Structure 1
Amino acid sequence: MADSKYLFKQPDLSWEDRLLYFIPPEGRTPEKIKDLLNNHPEIKFVSLVGIDLDGNDTDEKIPISVFFKEIEEFLNGGIQTDGSSVVLPGIVTINNAKVDLMADASVNWTVDYNYEHIDSKTGLPVGTLRIPSFLVHGGERVDSRSILVKAQENAKKQIKKYLSEYPSFARNIGIDPEDVVDIVLTAATELEFWVKTPGDKADIDQLTVSQVLQEQYWKRTKGNVRTSLEKSLILLERYGLNPEMGHKEVGGVTAQLGGEGRFSHVMEQIEIDWKYSYPLQAADNELLARIAIKEVFRQHGLEVTFMPKPIEGVAGNGEHTHVGIAVRMKDGSIKNLFTPINPEKDYLSPAGWGALMGLLKNYEVVGTFITCTNNAFNRLKPGFEAPVCIVASIGHSVNMPSRNRTVLVGLIRDKSNPLATRFEVRSPNPHTNTYLALAAIYQSMIDGIGYAAKSGKTSEELEKEFSKKPGEESDYLEKDRAYRSEEDVFEYYTPEERNKLFGTPPATVWEAVENLNKFPEKTEVLKHGNVFTQKLINSYTHAMLHRWVMELRDRIIPENIELVRSCIRLHDEEENSLDKERWNKINDLKLYLLKDTSNTKSLFSKIKTAISAKDYSTVSKLQLEMSSKINELKALYSEYKRNILHFETLSNQGSANRS
């Protein structure tokens, strides 16, 4: 008999309470799964969910009757596909396309409901059991989830080794290796997203003013936004995510109240957070949360976007990622590996300092798996609380924890709660492949923990090394770099100073991918324990570069062409010389961007030519120039337009003339 909490027929419950939302891994046998699903006839399909290297999740509809007949094969052998729908370039090829989907028995399985398709017999929405799975090709797991699994296993193995082989390291973090029964990795993400009325276009000026004045930040939600937010939190709770908070973020403008008391012209930014879990489950939870949130808001007539930078010029969507490591002792207690023996004296234990040093030292290659799309780089710019520099903040003093929102990594600590010590990595966004990002983060931290263990240094000694000035020698960190700042790095340093102190950050997908070749010793850190193999790295970089140039050629340039063409002359011949002067600058810039001649190519054409030649270094440089010129054009045209007295009439005339 199925567990009573999952039973379908309970007349005293609402229809929402009668649904099955997830199946935990404990005691999940084929017989119990069948019994449970038979008691929930509204669940009519099964979908094995694999995550490719681009972060895409597979979805298929397998009738539950087929699943029941072949349940042993589904759970142990997997099902086959031709691999045409997954991003695994260089691995899955047109002449070797067989890919198996193999169920993962270690995580929660969730039920995705179609609230627009009501089962006639039960009166409940039709559900699909989503089973997180691995992608297997040629007998090897080649998906994002499997990389994170290997990273988890490698981290646990290495930490146990360091605790047992380096007694002084164990003593300095207050742990007896003989009492350790397990290594506990934890992770959590904070999800930001923009929500708006479908079809509405952003008023950048209004959004910018509202952001500067912080008119929306943590304000009360209203109308269908409030309803959607509340229902999203309730739904995530039903899925077992234990949501902790939902609130307005910094971006947005006040919605308009219509005659029927309904709000329209919604344009707001929201954040939702939920409880941490171990890394693989945390990544699965984030995928589930994105799906659930988008569906709830859609049901209430609102459009959600998780794009890193959906609106140029205002705040983008971040997904700050929290990571920690603890140990479980024989007596059942949990001890945070990063918390120092004496929190009144030290910020971190030697293991904590090592993890932080490893993350920053190797971040050039870690970042390739966090930020590797055009839109993601649009978010990472000074002025929007988005991290650009490879630098961390640990607080102004041991006794006064602080938050610096301008750095890449922040130390989160609470002296009254030793288990709370962790790192907040601020660079990820909602489109980051969290599986690969967490794997890379843990690989880099383990490298640093290994240094701390082998060095035998105390917390005080490691803090001094981490806080070094540029030019000072270090046994682990790079001599000419700084790694700590408690200042607002965008206000305190010039761009040139930031690049000198913290390294020049990549600005394009090509620059991010090239870091894997530019820093081979750091790339080897990712490969340790066979976590990131060279085959998988090659496949990932090929996929990122392909998407980069396709998007640049077929989406960004066409959009920019339309923008250039939309900048039309608004003044007549009798207007003053200032309007003419400004228009001449605009027209010259338009010609440089768009117009080919018999002797010269426009900037857009140069980019397309470089793409065709696969001269990606040139493409990267020209892309940055294009971005700069487009921003210059926007600013010039805005200034020019503001000085036109009869803008509306002349604009309409211009439209008529063009037609």
Structure 2
Amino acid sequence: MNHYTRKDILRLVEEEDVGFIRLQFTDIFGTMKNVAITTSQLEKALDNQIIFDGSSIEGFARIEDSDMYLYPDLDTFTIFPWRPQQGKVARLICDVYKPDGSIFEGDPRYILKKVLSEAKASGYDFNVGPECEFFLFHADEDGRPTTLSHESATYFDVGPFDLGENARRDMVLTLEDMGFVIEASHHEIAPAQHEIDLQYGEALEMADNIMTFKMVAKTIAKRHGLHAAFMPKPKYGISGSGMHINMSLHRDGVNVFADAKDERGLSREAYYFIGGLMKHMKAVSFITNPIVNSYKRLVPGYEAPVYIAWSAKNRTPLLRIPAVKGTSARVELRSPDPTANPYLAFAVCLAAGMEGVRQEILPPASIDCNIFEMTEEQRERAGIEKLPGSLLEAAGEFKKDPYIQSVLGEDLSRKLIQAKEKEYADYRAQVTEWEIGRYLHRM
């Protein structure tokens, strides 16, 4: 991450001929928002004097106390390489504050900062590495997204089978122009499905990067006449898109999850972290899998996890220990999907894991066979529980977990529960094509 001063920002804007600056922030549902200013207003922005109507952002504020201020994080300054090279467009990611100068407690970025600060007070830094999957579909003649693709490529295929190869390459090159380090990119298992892996890093920076990555992917896809879809399960009968999160704790730059003496290369802290995640996983799912469609991905038969278990030997459990040791030791959580608000997702994962570390919660025995091939009786004997089967179930589990609610705070927790229960009620009231096809001619 760059470290900029106010003077640096003013100099860069002048030297790079920046004409427009986007002040960006993320709402509680993980949607990027922004207000754009010209360079004539930059000093005002750097003085934290840009105001916006918080009551117009769903879940942010009441109409009675709607004024909110954007405080730019100077280290997030970057120039968009796809915009004009004269009068360039740059951005600054902002924190949200109230008029009295206090932080807005419902700002997702603040919530992650708070949990990171609490971990830091215990001597830990939290590093993550996301694996972001998405589909590239055709747009129609009006530019609206479809679920159509001429492609039939599958895992790790190359062109000409991989028809999205050029768009994916341009995404990677654009991200690298913006200072990202991309570890890998490839075609995924389903037709038209792709993955771009961002380099492991500090959690706040990585949450910022995920929001920027999604914007870049959509922008570059559109230039190729395509639509980048982060919907978890856009089509029946194929694998859905996840956002696996690789996690580790560090102290003084050393990965504390590593222990060369352990058969799996894991330390006691790593096992405790797994234990904390497993204890709170049902409630965590409400944040890591936040929409109705999320739970159509979490079904047997498509590689996505369904059962709450861990293993170092296969990919069917929820938590996987990759076959790396030493400085690369980590825990991979496989249930999150790309609709998750990354700030809130990282916050609840860290908080759950840290409770495991503080309380020394050991996980149950690892499940080193294919969980999907076990019988229901075998899973019951092994004490293997399921993830929530729907958004409504996940909301119910979240309501039963006061610790995970405390991470978000009472007000934000209440707003999310209300919004998501309404979303599920709206969904349940719909009559789908599946119902028409199955019942209309028979009933």
TM-score w.r.t. the length of structure 1 is: 0.62
Contact 2:398 2:404 in 1 (8 A): no
Partner residue in 1 for 2:66: 97
Q: Which of the numbers 317, 320, 344 marks the counterpart of 1:407?
A: 317
Q: Distance in 2 between matches of 1:409 and 1:363?
A: 10
Deviations 1:64-84 (A, max 9, x none): 11114x2xxx23434211114
Contact 1:283 1:434 in 2 (8 A): yes
Q: Does 1:387 align with 2:292?
A: no
Q: Does 1:196 align with 2:106?
A: no
**Residue pairs, 1:143-182, within 5 angstroms:** 143-158=107-122, 160=123
Partner residue in 2 for 1:56: 31
> What secondary structure, in the 3-state scheme, does the structure 1 residue paired with 2:307 have?
coil
Deviations 1:480-512 (A, max 9, x none): xxxx31111111233894698322432222211
Q: Distance in 1 between matches of 2:147 and 2:352?
A: 40
Q: Distance in 2 between matches of 1:76 and 1:532?
A: 28
Partner residue in 2 for 1:337: 256
**Structure 1 residue 147 displacement after superposition:** 0.5
Partner residue in 2 for 1:587: 441
Q: Distance in 2 between matches of 1:511 and 1:104?
A: 37
Deviations 1:564-617 (A, max 9, x none): 55x4xxxxxxxxxxxxxxx9x7523xx4xxxxxxxxxxxxxxxxxxxxxxxxxx
**Structure 1 residue 366 displacement after superposition:** 1.4
Higher strand share: 2
> What secondary structure, in the 3-state scheme, does the structure 2 residue paired with 1:151 have?
helix
**Residue pairs, 1:297-316, within 5 angstroms:** 297-316=221-240
Higher helix share: 1
Distance 1:551-1:315 versus aligned 2 partners, 3 A rule? same
Q: Does 1:87 align with 2:67?
A: no
Provide structure 1 residue ranges, at least 5 long, that are not aligned to the other structure: 1-23, 119-123, 161-182, 253-267, 329-333, 396-403, 456-461, 468-483, 568-582, 592-659
Question: In structure 2, what residue type is equivalent to 1:466?
Answer: P
Distance 1:102-1:203 versus aligned 2 partners, 3 A rule? closer
**Residue pairs, 1:283-322, within 5 angstroms:** 283-322=207-246
Q: Distance in 2 between matches of 1:543 and 1:496?
A: 37
Question: In structure 1, what residue type is equivalent to 2:257?
Answer: F
Identity percentage over the alignment? 25
Q: Does 1:136 align with 2:97?
A: yes
Distance 1:351-1:280 versus aligned 2 partners, 3 A rule? same
Question: In structure 2, what residue type is equivalent to 1:508?
Answer: S
Question: In structure 2, what residue type is equivalent to 1:33?
Answer: I
Partner residue in 1 for 2:276: 358
Question: In structure 1, what residue type is equivalent to 2:235?
Answer: I
> What secondary structure, in the 3-state scheme, does the structure 2 residue paired with 1:309 have?
coil
Q: Distance in 1 between matches of 2:377 and 2:20?
A: 54
Distance 1:486-1:524 versus aligned 2 partners, 3 A rule? same
Partner residue in 2 for 1:549: 425
Larger Rg: 1
**Structure 1 residue 448 displacement after superposition:** 0.8
**Structure 1 residue 203 displacement after superposition:** 8.1
**Structure 1 residue 539 displacement after superposition:** 2.0
Which structure's relative contact order is higher, taking Cα pairs within 8 Å and 6+ residues apart? 2
Contact 2:312 2:323 in 1 (8 A): no
Deviations 1:513-534 (A, max 9, x none): 1112334xxx32552xxx4221
Contact 1:221 1:248 in 2 (8 A): no
Q: Does 1:435 align with 2:396?
A: no
> What secondary structure, in the 3-state scheme, does the structure 1 residue paired with 2:421 have?
helix
Deviations 1:402-423 (A, max 9, x none): xx221111112424xx110011
Distance 1:133-1:547 versus aligned 2 partners, 3 A rule? farther
TM-score w.r.t. the length of structure 2 is: 0.90
**Structure 1 residue 451 displacement after superposition:** 2.0
> What secondary structure, in the 3-state scheme, does the structure 2 residue paired with 1:140 have?
coil
Total equivalences in the alignment? 435
Distance 1:112-1:548 versus aligned 2 partners, 3 A rule? farther
Q: Distance in 1 between matches of 2:435 and 2:310?
A: 40
**Structure 1 residue 126 displacement after superposition:** 5.0
Distance 1:136-1:552 versus aligned 2 partners, 3 A rule? farther
**Structure 1 residue 94 displacement after superposition:** 2.3
Q: Distance in 2 between matches of 1:318 and 1:240?
A: 24
Q: Does 1:108 align with 2:26?
A: no
Question: In structure 2, what residue type is equivalent to 1:340?
Answer: D
